[in-house]
Chains A and B, each alone.
Chain A
Amino acid sequence: MILRSSLKLDKAYVLLYNLQYRYIDMIKTKDILPVCGVIVAVIYSWNLYRFVWILPSWLKFLTVGEIFNILSMTLAISFLDTLLVLGLLIIVALIVPFQWFRDDFVFRGCLFGLYVLIFAVYLASNVVPLNLLPVYSMGSLVVFIFLQLWGGRVLRIRSLVLVLADRAIVFLYVYLPMTLVGIVSIVLRAIW
């Protein structure tokens, strides 16, 4: 009886330990930063590219203040996009076995983020009908899995991705303060 209850306690302890290990200590901030940098670089750059593309037509009709508001909205939306993609990435990392993702979070996270965002850029730039979306998604997923498996073993690709991820951190220092200013301006405008 005592033995059985102590076994139960052991199991509970292991479960709690695993939960803590999985959910709390799982991904370190220093690992998240480069992945976040890559995501921010792609999302913000695309949105700003679209912004600059439309900007000339706005210059004629809108005031500088209104264009600043549009930029603020753009940055805020990009920030939400970033949270969404990063959140998705972390959820995937929680669900799949450690050795598939967590243990090599920076490399696999960057590749995963790039895969999702490049596919999103393709979908944004092209008209892919709804009924063909699963086909396109599966096709690109196969390419992604191949890159994950093959790229992880090729030292050059691996180091290239890691170096890029490390450099991408600089985008956080550029874009996030801009976003903060934008969000503050939106809040202030909503109040007044």
Chain B
Amino acid sequence: MRKIKRREFLKMASAIPAGVVLSNISRRVATQSLFQNHIIVLVLDTLSARNMSLYGYPRDTTPNINRFAERSNVYHAHYSGGTFTTSGTASLLTGTYPWTHRAINLEGLVSRPLAKRNIFQQFDSHTRLAFTQNYFAQYLLTQFENDIESHLPMGAFSELEQYVLDTSGAKWISEFRAVTDLAFAQKPGSLALGIISKYLKAYRLAAINTQLANVQRYGVELTFSIRKVFAGLANELSRLERPSLCYLHLFPPHGPYQPHGMFNGLFVNGWKPKAKPRHALWKEETSSRKTLNDKRLKYDQYLADTDHAFGEFIDQLDSTGVLDNSYFILTSDHGESFERGYFGHAGPYVYEPSIHIPLLISAPGQVTRRDFDSVTNSVDVLPTLLSISGREIPDWCEGEVLPGFGREVRDLQTRATFTVEAKYSSAFGTLPTISIAMRRGNFKMIYYKGYNDIADPYYEGVFEMYNLAEDPEELNDLVNVELSLARDMKDELLSAYDSSKQVRPL
């Protein structure tokens, strides 16, 4: 046997680390190249799980989503990262909580140093398509523009689109914001061109108003038929090259609620939700119980209408074979409240209707339903998608892989997830005015802080705690009953909040 010389040994030894690295890379590349499925993320804006029959709502609002659930993983305790479009969507797209990404204000953006950490950038070898009808979400997609190959205009498949400057393909985000936020907004900075544009839009809308039936209108800018939009998207998806990542964010059932045809008369059977006392925090924003119930009825009807269109969409995808090759994710960016005197989702509340959202994931060829009760959050979607496509999950991701796609269910039982509402705070600082909902196991801790200046002095720093297994309507505050557990959860919540104060990207 030939004796190995010292020099040869050193050469071989130096090649070992390179070999290890190369083998890791080749394994990753091999896994990724094996993954040839589409990933389709469909966000229906303002879809509250609490109003879906899929999650036990008494009105049959979502028969088609129920049908889709029969071939999906259904997550029963899924929460949004934020309480409105900007923060909720940013959490979904970045896998981080609002106190990290800092898209916490209306029309806000992800903090500049973190903007590269987004879902599109992570799937850089996929064909990436994005479409949204929501203005706030469009801002975020514009921020990720360089990582999106096909960014459809907001008015795609619509009857009338009157945005002054759409961002798809926009070279400079600053121009877009200058023109849309400032000069030609609803409160225009331009006193001549802006006003002319404002009333020209209103005139054009009025001109087509009488000609169109069964359409959805969002301001003067966007008029569309949800069925036509779904049909257009189905057509677009059927032509996509595999593998692809598609982010589709549709406006319905966001207000104003516009049910059409047979959906207009649905659910008029006298059923009323459980009455809840008015919350004291946001006194000036209260609505009467009758108003809330009327709005809830309209929302439910609109949801049923949207669900029907979704059913047709799924059937189209099924018939073209898209679903056979796709991971299809149905979720939302936040919920909607019709209780405690509060209507909408722009306020400080983090009760279940505002933050409990649906999550259904259908894998290619899946024919059975699987239900998961573990607590999950929007931030979990990105790491899950990375995991199923064989990619590494980056350190900055704050979510976990969802049960059913890796982790054992018991791992997530003791984990805490957060929903953060801080639109009244500056994105620069330590978020002094904030609402946090922390869910851990069956318990949910709510923390209202800093509202003493803008709302009720009592809410300088108030905790509430609920056992959602026994009290799903959040009526029995246990913060002064389960003292030991409350103290423990308070500590965990405050610790997370304190850590967020260290995140000051500027």
Contact = CB atoms under 8 A, between A and B. Distances in A.
B183 interface: yes
A67 interface: yes
B110 to A, nearest CB: 8
B200 to A, nearest CB: 10
B178 A70 contact: yes
A61 B112 contact: yes
B189 A125 contact: no
B178 A73 contact: yes
A54 B110 CA distance: 16
A74 B178 contact: yes
A162 interface: no
Interface string A102-125: 000000000000000100110111
A131 B203 CA distance: 9
Given A50-B182, A66-B174, A120 B199 contact: no
A62 B174 contact: yes
A51 interface: yes
A17 interface: no
Contacts of B177: 58, 62, 70
B57 interface: no
Contacts of A50: 182, 187-189
B493 interface: no
| Interface size of B as a range | 35 or more
B191 A67 contact: no
Interface residues of A, number: 39
A70 B182 contact: yes
Nearest to B189: A50
A117 B181 CA distance: 20
Contacts of B188: 50, 124
Nearest to A129: B202
A148 B288 CA distance: 49
Interface in B160-191: 172-175, 177-179, 181-183, 186-191
A156 interface: no
Contacts of B190: 47, 77-78, 81
Contacts of A54: 181-182
A61 B112 CA distance: 5
A47 B195 contact: no
B175 A81 contact: no
B427 interface: yes
Interface stretch (B100-108, B393-401, B414-422, B462-470): B100-108
Interface centre among B174, B188, B206 (most CB of A within 10 A): B174
A60 B195 contact: no
Contacts of B358: none
A43 B187 contact: no
A120 B195 contact: yes
Interface centre among A73, A77, A78, A117 (most CB of B within 10 A): A77
B255 to A, nearest CB: 16
Interface string B104-121: 010111111000000000
Contacts of B452: none
Interface in A162-180: none
B111 A60 contact: yes
Interface string A36-59: 000000110011011100101111
B105 A69 contact: no
A60 B427 contact: yes
Nearest to B172: A69
A81 B109 CA distance: 30
Given A54-B181, A60-B506, A61-B112, A66 B173 contact: yes
B189 A133 contact: no
Q: Which 10 A-B pairs have the closest CB atoms?
A: A50-B189, A66-B174, A81-B192, A70-B178, A73-B178, A61-B109, A120-B191, A130-B202, A47-B189, A69-B174
16 contacts: A47-B190, A50-B182, A60-B427, A61-B108, A61-B109, A61-B143, A74-B189, A77-B183, A81-B191, A85-B192, A117-B191, A120-B195, A123-B195, A124-B191, A124-B195, A130-B206
